[in-house]
Structure 1
Amino acid sequence: MNLEARKIEFVQEFLKLQSEEAVSRLEKILRMEKNASNERLSEPMTQEELNKRIDQSESDFQNNRFKSSSELLAKYE
């Protein structure tokens, strides 16, 4: 089962809950996960990580593994 299907199934089960305590526990877990995710995103990259990303990006570009801005914009129009 892919992630999207799992999330849909989770939400469907969540909507069936009748216990306010269970909903509160799940809300607490969700807040904790969001905070942990935000902390991971706000950690600065090391110079080595940055250089690896630059190298990968340059390699992707040289091997035509990219989308132009017009392709990206067309996707969302």
Structure 2
Amino acid sequence: MNLEARKIKFVQEFLKLQSEEAISRLEKILRKEKNASDEQTFEPMSQDDLNQRIDTSESDFQNGRFKSSSELLAKYE
């Protein structure tokens, strides 16, 4: 059975579940697997990239290309 067929079968079985406890356990496993997957694909930036980003940010600030925290908060209120 290929991966796509296994996924479909799993979802079909999941939809039949009536136990909230079982669903909670499966959600917890899914979150744990997603976090593990995200950590494996993480690639830290190099020191040169970090320094370039700092230089760009400082230049933006000096040239007035920034928003204050109150402006950002107002956008989402």
**TM-score (normalised: structure 2):** 0.55
Partner of 1:10: 10
Q: Distance in 2 between matches of 1:33 and 1:8?
A: 18
What's the counterpart of residue 38 of structure 1?
Answer: 38
Matched with 1:24 is 24
Q: Distance in 2 between matches of 1:4 and 1:23?
A: 21
For normalisation by structure 1, the TM-score amounts to: 0.55
Which structure 2 residue ranges, 5 or more long, are not aligned?
45-77
Structure 1 unmatched runs, 5+: 45-77
Deviations 1:33-77 (A, max 9, x none): 000000000045xxxxxxxxxxxxxxxxxxxxxxxxxxxxxxxxx
Moved over 2 A (4+): none
CA distance in 2, matches of 1:40, 1:7: 22
